[in-house]
Amino acid sequence: MVRVLLAFFLLPAFAFSQVQSPKKTSGGTPIKINYLNVCTPTDAEQQALADALARIPLRARFSADFEISRGRSTMPEVPVAHWVRIRREFPAGNFFSSVQYSVSLDENGMVETLVFRVRDPSLLLLVTMDDSVSAAADVAAALGQNTPAEHVKVERFGKSSVALRRCGHAEQAAYEPLFRAASEIMAAYRAALKVRSTVPGDLARLGGVPKSAANGRKAPSAPKSEAAAPQTPADRPN
C-alpha cells in the first residue's frame, strides 16, 4: 500500500518533467517554423501541387472588376525596383476569387509573379508561381518570351505549405510535369490579363530600368529552402 501511494504522489512530478516549454523569443512570443523541401518534394507534396494547378482554368473568365497599379520600392541592401500589378476578379461561383499578376524590374533583371486567391479557404489559401529573367532592358521582348515558371507554391489552411523550385544541384526530371503545367498557366494569364500591352507602358512611365542607390550591389540570391508558418498566409499587397 505504501508503494502504491508513493508511486501515486511521484507520478505528477515525473509527468511534469516530461513537458518541454516551447521556445520563445526575447519578447516571450512562441515561434514555430516549418522548413519546406522545395528542391525534392515528396510524392504527397507533388500530388498537392498537381491538384492545385489542375484547378486553375487555362481559359479565364473575369468579372468587370479590375485593378492596375504601379510604383517604386526601395529596401536596404537590395536594388531599387519598379513594379506593375494587375488584378482581376473571377465570377461568383468560381473556385478562385481573384488572380494577381505582378512584375518587378531592377538593375539585375525582372521577376514575374502570379497569385491565385481561393474563394473558400477551407482547402487552399493561395497558389503562387513565378519566374525571373536575369537581364531585361527590353521589357516587351522579355514578356514576349513566355519565360517558364521556376517556382510554384501552395499555401493551405491549417497545414504547412508545399512548394517546388528549380534547383541546379538536384535531380528534378520527375517534376517536369509540374513545371510545365505552371508555365502553361503563366503563359495563358499573360495573354488573358493583356500583360504585353499594359506593363511596358506603365514601366516606361516610371522611368524604365531603375538605377539603384546601392550602386553595383546585387540582390540576395534565392534560398535553397523556404520557411513558412502554416497558420497564416504570407502577406502580399492587394
Grid cell, residue 202, equals: 506603365
Helix ranges (DSSP H) in 71-207: 139-144, 176-192, 195-205
pLDDT of residue 60: 92
pLDDT tens sequence across 55-71: 999 999 999 999 999 99
Is the whole model's pTM more than 0.85, yes or no? no
The CB density around residue 36, as the number of other CB atoms within 10 Å, is 18
pLDDT of residue 212: 59
Torsion of CA 79, 144, 162, 85, to 10 degrees: 60
Burial 188-220 (b: 16+ CB within 10 A, else e): bbbebbebeebbbebbeebeebbebeeeeeebe
Q: How many CA atoms lie within 13 A of 58 on its CB side?
A: 9
Q: Which residues contact 50 (CB under 8 A, 6 or more apart)?
A: 177, 178, 181
Grid cell, residue 117, equals: 486567391
pLDDT of residue 136: 64
Q: What is residue 111's three-state secondary structure?
A: strand
pLDDT of residue 228: 41
CA 26/CA 36 separation, integer angstroms: 25
pLDDT of residue 29: 77
- Of the chain, the end-to-end C-alpha distance in Å amounts to 69
| Of the candidates 101, 74, 106, the residue with the CA atom closest to the CA atom of residue 199 | 101
Domain edges within the chain: 33-213+223-228
CA 229/CA 194 separation, integer angstroms: 34
Over the chain (238 residues), what is each successive 10-residue block's mean pLDDT?
38 36 60 78 96 96 96 92 97 95 93 96 92 83 93 94 94 96 98 96 90 46 40 37
